[in-house]
Structure 1
């Protein structure tokens, strides 16, 4: 051993290599989660055709994934404490892998829907990847968390899933999800550190709250997405809506009394916290509403009087600017936070989403370049919630004539302007909170 090669140096180099391996593993798992989550977007039209369901029904393959992800994120955060984080990560990836298998087997539409729901559970893994980075990566934790935040918003599955869908159909495209889910599971087995520390004496998990929230959101989204049932079967629609409202009301009561609630509703008593959450919620609806509109519009055959009749691959490429600009925004935003308040960023986010909505509503007939521009602009306003996807389906369904596969062109205008109004609505409270914050700091 040379004089310069000491045991301490060797240990430091080994730790550095181990840290690099862990960083790569965490980012890879985050990218896999993003890829699986994005598989539904460019395949909505293909799912409708292959499974012989309406476009609004096929849209559930995107909405259900976002819904389960919204519920799973806080739940996994509770389950994935340091003493069992590895176990939770491996179990979650196993669920995602099984869900991926369900999307490729020859079975009715309900099975692929269940598989997509299981895949959505993986959307809650990003928070656990960040917690792992904080615990094990020391000085590299901050930069790794920034990469994980960006990786979780990049829709790498858009163009990648499109080619196999065009060649072999929806199930072949979803086979990609099986491959990457299994690869992520193997990566986690090899690279995620073993659990540390003893289990606390008592650590309750709010399973009742998670169940009530899931039931309430599913009921509301189900009624929202099935507008054709409102006139044909009004009684079941009303009963489902009431059941959803009761479940959500019960969830609020449970959360207020739970020792460790799934969502800390008491924090919403603070006007700034409540306002920020409302703004983010509404802007997320607007963002995903427009996102779904563009995805469906570009694939609509020109025989409908609008649309570009793009193939799955071409539609996937249209969505690439969303990922690229979302990546750029993810890199720029942390630096902007040093100069701009969080409410200032929310205000800017509302303007960006509103601009994208106006561009799509006003000039989408000028060629395929405009949807590409719209997706690039929208990428800067990355956010979203499953209700946005359901609302877009509701509006388009209301503009679809009986027996027609595609909605009218005016339906896209109505939905786009609706998204734009929602985005503009978020600007006023966000700007107001920003101004109030400045006054407090000046006084």
Structure 2
């Protein structure tokens, strides 16, 4: 293969990796702004319509470690193409005039695509030079989050003009393009790779995550059937404990849980989990506040489309932070950057808690959140991959994304519970003070994330880890272990 052709393929590969990560994130997020429209279009309750989002998160959380393991093997290209084909098929089901049950099937298929983000990172680490791969991995991590900000306003605009089917039609269009991009650009995995999917472990993880996300999304179950909710919570814990034991004892587990014994990897995942809870609380608070009608005594009564525009600063500043992060990592340790990013996100909470009397202040809070989330997301892969062999990139990052998905779901649930607790009997909308209380919960979450990251930075001192590079590449000795 000529040098010219190699350079040409490399130029095509990076945009394809970023585009695929952006598409699967944006398509999976389509459920959130369309919940009310789905309820009216399909004549179902809001709780039922909520499952168009929950089921996508669930299928993504289950598929992510499985795809991560398959992506570590010799058939990574085929895994990516088949997964995108499933996403395209699911997108078609959301557009066709079929009953509500088929819409849920389609949304579940779309959610499977969330597992591709970790595979995009594995491809970048295997086929790009070290410095470029680090920047690409950081960018992939960022767009997997700011895709939410891209999907919301577009979905709202299309719904206003063409109905819910038109919004899902956009998902079908962009996923088809993503499939073609992958077909044209995805290289084969390096020689000598092998992959084994732990079926029993996958079932245990699927069952545990299903119950966790189900319980997080069913607020009425906790209030009206507390005993049932507690029993299901115990079952979820038992399933996840069984999966953990299986992963530690198995020779070829679904996720290499032994890697979590390393303080840096364990600390990074704890920071991701708590940080994700805080990030999603603020994201949902601001969008919900913006759509609350003036009759509630606060809010701005924005339509779905206009409320989605509030997320544009989140996406723009998140992208800017993602581009700046690789340069900052040349001067700042990755864990220290995580801590600094958590402080920035906490600043967004403080801004929302103290100043939300006009729409400009909501834009400012969303801008601060976007910059903090972008920097946090871009720095996270380097912290984990510094202690991960190249062959385990997809698997290691897939677990981190499972942690993030569960954190997002819990953040959404916690925010909803706080607002529900602040809603007076007979009223539809919570009191304005409930938003302040929820913001204080988010500030506490980001304080914990900051402390965890600072402890992690202390453990990752240059004297203790002389071979770990900011780019996230492991030392030769580690990669061969």
Shorter-chain TM-score: which interval? 0.7 to 0.9
Take 1:42 and 1:185, find their aligned partners in 2: how far apart are those partners? 25
Do the aligned partners of residues 339 and 144 (structure 1) sit closer, same or farther apart at CA in structure 2, a change above 3 Å counting?
A: closer
Decide which of 417, 421, 424 is 2:440's aligned counterpart. 417
Stretch moving more, 67-76 or 52-61:
52-61
Corresponding residue SS for 1:406 = coil
* Corresponding position of 1:69: 60
* Corresponding position of 1:263: 255
Do the aligned partners of residues 283 and 26 (structure 1) sit closer, same or farther apart at CA in structure 2, a change above 3 Å counting?
A: closer
- Check whether the contact 2:280–2:412 (CA below 8 A) recurs between aligned residues: yes
* Corresponding position of 1:188: 182
Take 1:59 and 1:350, find their aligned partners in 2: how far apart are those partners? 29
- Check whether the contact 2:219–2:413 (CA below 8 A) recurs between aligned residues: no
- Check whether the contact 1:224–1:394 (CA below 8 A) recurs between aligned residues: no
Deviations 1:349-378 (A, max 9, x none): 2211211112112222x1111221111111
- Measure how far apart 1:402 and its partner are: 6.2
Take 2:326 and 2:176, find their aligned partners in 1: how far apart are those partners? 32
- Check whether the contact 1:302–1:309 (CA below 8 A) recurs between aligned residues: yes
- Check whether the contact 2:17–2:120 (CA below 8 A) recurs between aligned residues: yes
- Check whether the contact 1:27–1:151 (CA below 8 A) recurs between aligned residues: yes
* Corresponding position of 1:20: 11
Stretch moving more, 14-23 or 417-426:
14-23
Take 1:294 and 1:147, find their aligned partners in 2: how far apart are those partners? 25
Take 2:99 and 2:420, find their aligned partners in 1: how far apart are those partners? 22
Decide which of 217, 225, 228 is 1:236's aligned counterpart. 228
Decide which of 451, 460, 480 is 1:428's aligned counterpart. 451
* Corresponding position of 1:37: 28
Stretch moving more, 245-254 or 407-416:
407-416
Between Structure 1 and Structure 2, how many residues are aligned? 431
Decide which of 161, 165, 168 is 1:171's aligned counterpart. 165
Deviations 1:206-237 (A, max 9, x none): 22222222221221232233232234223332
Relative to the length of structure 2, the TM-score reads 0.80
- Check whether the contact 1:341–1:434 (CA below 8 A) recurs between aligned residues: yes
Stretch moving more, 24-33 or 46-55:
46-55
Decide which of 222, 225, 242 is 2:217's aligned counterpart. 225
Deviations 1:140-175 (A, max 9, x none): 645544443443333222322221012123232121
Relative to the length of structure 1, the TM-score reads 0.86
Do the aligned partners of residues 431 and 400 (structure 1) sit closer, same or farther apart at CA in structure 2, a change above 3 Å counting?
A: same
* Corresponding position of 1:160: 154
Corresponding residue SS for 1:205 = coil
Do the aligned partners of residues 294 and 103 (structure 1) sit closer, same or farther apart at CA in structure 2, a change above 3 Å counting?
A: farther
1:381 aligns with 2:381: no
Corresponding residue SS for 1:103 = helix
Take 2:221 and 2:459, find their aligned partners in 1: how far apart are those partners? 45
Match runs of 1:11-410 below 5 Å: 11-50=2-41, 58-81=49-72, 83-106=74-97, 110-137=101-128, 141-155=133-147, 156-193=150-187, 197=191, 200=194, 203-364=195-356, 366-382=357-373, 383=377, 384=404, 385-400=408-423, 404-410=427-433
- Measure how far apart 1:397 and its partner are: 3.4
Larger radius of gyration: 1
Stretch moving more, 107-116 or 185-194:
107-116
* Corresponding position of 2:471: none
- Check whether the contact 1:344–1:434 (CA below 8 A) recurs between aligned residues: yes
Take 2:353 and 2:36, find their aligned partners in 1: how far apart are those partners? 21
Gapped regions of structure 1 (runs ≥ 5): 1-7
Corresponding residue SS for 2:95 = coil
Corresponding residue SS for 1:380 = helix
* Corresponding position of 1:5: none
Corresponding residue SS for 2:145 = coil
- Measure how far apart 1:80 and its partner are: 1.7
